[in-house]
Structure 1
Amino acid sequence: MGEFITGAGARERFRVLLDAVDDAYAQMREVPSDAVGNAFRVEMAERLETQERTNRALMYRVFGELADPPDEVGLVNDVIDSLWARLRIPPTEIKRRMKMAARIRPRRSLLGPPLPPELPLVADAVTVGAVGQDHLRVIATAMNRLPSCVSAEERSEVEASLVREARKNDAEIVKTAARHVDEIFNPDGDFDEADRARRRGMVMGPQGPDGGSRLSGWIDPETRCYVEAATAAVRPGRHLPDGTVEDSRDDRSASQRCHDGIKLGLKAGIASGGLGSHRGHPVTVIARTTLAELDQAAHAVTNPDIPMPPPARTGGDTALPMRDLIRMATDAIHYLAVFDDHSDRPLYLGRQKRIATTDQRIICYARDGGCTRPNCTESGYHSEVHHSPDWDPIGATDADKLFFACGPDHARVTKGQWQTTVTDSGRLAWSNGTRPPDINHAHHPEELLHTDPDPPECC
């Protein structure tokens, strides 16, 4: 049996060891390496790579225990907030590490000893620093792609083969081996419904400098049928980007017409009204801008001497060029939130009703952009309306007392884990009791360009 050590003893030992590692790195940074020769540099690179992989394995161990603490009851959302603040890595990466740790760390059982990891051979290789993050990504993807009909014994054989290759070769070679695994276990592409349902998925990447976004993923056969039909409607000379529907000269490539077909289908689906409602208003595009920018854009369309204003922002926090916004306004059904005082729409309802109206949600889109909890990047499309002060007992359903909060953060306010207050400027500030109230700048990047949005407190 291993040596028994208390929690306090383990913490002290870890601190001593971590200090020793920090000290070793500090000393290595001070030692010059410009005269050691390339043969030694190769040896040093190998040692550092192994140490980095070993450190990554320990990191997965810690992340796995943070997600499912064996010694206490943990709140994952609070842990993610703490890690984000201290490590300065995005929540998506924190969740990715937790999910991967769940696959390569021993699993807890309600009764009896711990269960082995889902990928035990991968776990062993990761622990000793024999494989890197790139190997791990390729192997995990290959295991996910195996059809559901593959037996447990065959899965173990595949895992062993891939780990064996990863111990000898780089990730590209392992990827080649994974393709051969596909050919062996599924030569005829015989996937069942469960396989297709598990594999389907689309990922929309971030907007690039030109406003474009990369779309990647897999669609199931039914979705492909719809894409094919919509693309067929956008045959050469029809449904051009400028709105032309009659036959005319067309220089688009096949891939560009496929893109325009998907856009045509989505636009028709939204305009039909058949998608129902989303949080109290029809499923549609919501854009926010100012009256001055909208007026400037309208003149810039016909006068090249007038510069086009910055893009509007959608409920998904997408930058929408003003030319596109004006074109969409002519034939699309969407809500446009314009900062204009001349409106007779009922924005202030007091305590007549608790549920925010469509108009009030539009104001939240315009003012907040998305969840108002500091550092949360969830867009307005996926946010709920939060009362501040709380509806019970004195809150009013007025536009200046309603703010966006994503579902998890809204629930944490309800549970008392966060407190909110309205600032003098009309923004919502959040505090969890460990730091001063703060507002979210994630949906207002322009606030980060001019001055420090969070100046130090005055003494």
Structure 2
Amino acid sequence: MRSSACGGESEQVAEHLAGLAAAVDGLCTDDLTRLPDSDVLGALRGMEAALRSAAAVGHRLIVESVERGLPGKNGCASVNKLLIEVLRISAGDASRRVTAARKLGTWRTLSGEELPATLPATAAAQRDGDIGAEHAAAVREVVHKIPRATPTPEVETAERVLAELARRGTPEDVARAGQRLLAYLNPDGKLTDDKDRARRRGLRLGRQDSDLMTPVSGWLDPETRALLDPVLAKLARPGMNNPDAPQSPCGDAESASIDRNELGRAAARDTRTAAQRNHDALKQVLRGLLGSGALGNHRGLPVTTIITMRLDQLEHATGVVTTASGGAVPIKDALRMAERSHPVLALFDHNGRPLHLGRVKRLASADQRLALIAAEGGCSRPGCDAPATMTAVHHVHDWRKGGNTDIDELTLGCDACHALIHDGPGGWQTGIAPDGTAFAGRTQWTPPPHIDPQKRPKVNHRHHPGELLDRARRTAMEHNEIHVRRRGRVRGTPHSGGKTGDGEEP
């Protein structure tokens, strides 16, 4: 009987594989030149969804190979080696596939009981064809960086949020949003010739990690190095500009105002490495440059560090605040920076600043831009992570068509996204989310049909990771409630209510 069943399963799998091969053969020979433009785009979407779902089948086959001990039976030291020999793929590709299967596949205990996938929401999204291998890898990388002290429900909720983001965005979107989500989960940060030299020059700032530290790498050309060396020689001397010893001298070591004896004592106390002294010297240079006003204005505001914090953060002095350039700063560091600054806007409300200009002026005021930086954080187009410093103020309703220059009709948009707003084919449209919707009053962007045939308006959560986390928490609670209610029905116990949190029958 078992033999017959196994034979039937083998025939069914073989039939499905034959059908898959026939479908691919047919698509390879079909005349695509006669397809309308919309059908070409539809075929691209359909093909991609099928390939993504097929990857989930690959995970299942890898699980079967491991649990049956096929590597050992075929003289291979590991499943990676088996895949390399059987599929003729690279070691890197084999490693990526096995890693994905371990996190997204359904494994079983020795007794045959199925174990839930490590990343269940991500696995479901891939089975549905909504995300690909790169999306899943981006989710895995972010989840891997979540501090181990984070409670399990928080980790599960974060994974669900990332999977939802992956369904609607690119792998880069997931990675960028993941950094903000990590900051949200860990707010205190505890948890040879001239042409060659010109080609190689560059300075790269990596993404902030879970500790809010930023990796820096790159190459300086000879002139830049020559300009930097004397600056470090003066500002990075032992004892100078030491944040660990506030009483140590600050500024220029050669200044006549510096007490040489005090500098000597400060140097004796200085335990920083040369790298740390260079870092602190660079901070001093940047602080002085921004404070001098020499850089003038940028997009209508003075070139300075703009930090947005909520009132509760200010009162409790905990958490992480954001900068207009998209960075994150622990609240204690932000308050320390504020001690040396002249705040342009300490606190504002609807009545505190002139934010409504009507049709009197087309260009937004500095007050309006500051308010938008605090409210939106960056470009408002869904999926865009451009920080506020890279954006311009945009009228949600075109000013040329009667739109007002009022704060509730303005938004931030980076230059690339702003150019997407037009009435022609492929153009995006902007509007205000109506009352009664989840994000009433927020700027919503309606995509063109080739991106979303149903043209559903969306808001950007990239600069508001807490919104997605809260929504995922509510969804998780609703799922738990449904699970408890179903268990009660199976056991014959009554349960009050009879409806889910959103008013629909489970």
Q: TM-score range by the shorter chain?
A: 0.5 to 0.7
2:203 is the alignment partner of 1:202: yes
Aligned counterpart for 1:405 among listed residues 413, 423, 431: 413
Q: For residues 311 and 191 of structure 1, what CA distance do their matches in structure 2 show?
A: 45
The sequence identity of aligned pairs, in percent, is 36
Aligned counterpart for 1:34 among listed residues 60, 63, 69: 69
Partner residue in 1 for 2:445: 430
Q: For residues 409 and 336 of structure 1, what CA distance do their matches in structure 2 show?
A: 28
Whether the 8 Å contact between 2:397 and 2:403 is mirrored in structure 1 is yes
The CA deviation string for residues 136-182 of structure 1, in whole angstroms up to 9 with x for no partner, is xxxxxxxxxxxxxxxxxxxxxxxxxxxxxxxxxxxxxxxxxxxxxxx
TM score, norm. by length of structure 2? 0.55
Q: For residues 52 and 355 of structure 2, what CA distance do their matches in structure 1 show?
A: 58
Residue 335 and residue 251 in structure 1: after superposition, are their counterparts in 2 closer, same or farther (change >3 A)?
Answer: farther
How far is the alpha carbon of 1:387 from its aligned partner? Answer: 0.5
Greater RCO (CA < 8 Å, at least 6 residues apart): 2
Letter in 1 for 2:323: T
Partner residue in 1 for 2:283: 263
Q: For residues 52 and 467 of structure 2, what CA distance do their matches in structure 1 show?
A: 39
Q: For residues 320 and 313 of structure 2, what CA distance do their matches in structure 1 show?
A: 9
TM score, norm. by length of structure 1? 0.60
Q: For residues 173 and 303 of structure 2, what CA distance do their matches in structure 1 show?
A: 28
Unaligned runs of 5+ in 1: 57-82, 94-189, 298-307
Partner residue in 1 for 2:215: 214
Q: For residues 272 and 403 of structure 1, what CA distance do their matches in structure 2 show?
A: 30
Q: For residues 334 and 369 of structure 1, what CA distance do their matches in structure 2 show?
A: 18
The alignment partner of 2:465 has SS state of coil
The alignment partner of 1:265 has SS state of helix
2:427 is the alignment partner of 1:421: no
The CA deviation string for residues 271-310 of structure 1, in whole angstroms up to 9 with x for no partner, is 221212211111111111123432x15xxxxxxxxxx322
Deviates more, 1:350-359 or 1:369-378: 350-359
Residue 209 and residue 399 in structure 1: after superposition, are their counterparts in 2 closer, same or farther (change >3 A)?
Answer: same
Letter in 1 for 2:444: A
The CA deviation string for residues 203-242 of structure 1, in whole angstroms up to 9 with x for no partner, is 2122223221111111222322333233222211122224
Whether the 8 Å contact between 1:204 and 1:215 is mirrored in structure 2 is yes
The alignment partner of 1:320 has SS state of strand
Deviates more, 1:430-439 or 1:372-381: 430-439
Letter in 1 for 2:83: M
2:472 is the alignment partner of 1:445: no
Whether the 8 Å contact between 1:290 and 1:339 is mirrored in structure 2 is no
Whether the 8 Å contact between 1:276 and 1:283 is mirrored in structure 2 is yes
The CA deviation string for residues 330-373 of structure 1, in whole angstroms up to 9 with x for no partner, is 32356446344563x42222222111111111111100001111
Residue 382 and residue 92 in structure 1: after superposition, are their counterparts in 2 closer, same or farther (change >3 A)?
Answer: farther
The CA deviation string for residues 18-55 of structure 1, in whole angstroms up to 9 with x for no partner, is 79977984884556641552624534333446179899
Whether the 8 Å contact between 1:270 and 1:333 is mirrored in structure 2 is no
Q: For residues 55 and 298 of structure 2, what CA distance do their matches in structure 1 show?
A: 51
Residue 410 and residue 39 in structure 1: after superposition, are their counterparts in 2 closer, same or farther (change >3 A)?
Answer: same
How far is the alpha carbon of 1:442 from its aligned partner? Answer: 0.8
The alignment partner of 1:197 has SS state of helix
Map 1:288-437; keep pairs closer than 5 Å: 288-294=308-314, 296=315, 308-332=317-341, 335-336=344-345, 338-341=347-350, 343=352, 345-415=353-423, 417-423=427-433, 424=435, 425-433=440-448, 434=452, 435-437=455-457
Partner residue in 1 for 2:31: 6
Q: For residues 431 and 253 of structure 1, what CA distance do their matches in structure 2 show?
A: 53
2:299 is the alignment partner of 1:279: yes
Letter in 2 for 1:39: G
Whether the 8 Å contact between 1:286 and 1:336 is mirrored in structure 2 is no
Whether the 8 Å contact between 2:166 and 2:174 is mirrored in structure 1 is no
Whether the 8 Å contact between 1:285 and 1:314 is mirrored in structure 2 is yes
Residue 224 and residue 371 in structure 1: after superposition, are their counterparts in 2 closer, same or farther (change >3 A)?
Answer: same
The alignment partner of 2:204 has SS state of strand
User: How many residues align structurally?
Assistant: 321
Q: For residues 412 and 392 of structure 1, what CA distance do their matches in structure 2 show?
A: 17
Letter in 2 for 1:195: D
Partner residue in 2 for 1:133: none
Residue 243 and residue 46 in structure 1: after superposition, are their counterparts in 2 closer, same or farther (change >3 A)?
Answer: farther
Q: For residues 363 and 387 of structure 1, what CA distance do their matches in structure 2 show?
A: 15
Letter in 2 for 1:89: P
Q: For residues 412 and 451 of structure 1, what CA distance do their matches in structure 2 show?
A: 29
The alignment partner of 1:414 has SS state of coil
How far is the alpha carbon of 1:444 from its aligned partner? Answer: 0.7
How far is the alpha carbon of 1:427 from its aligned partner? Answer: 1.1
Q: For residues 325 and 243 of structure 1, what CA distance do their matches in structure 2 show?
A: 20
Whether the 8 Å contact between 1:369 and 1:443 is mirrored in structure 2 is yes
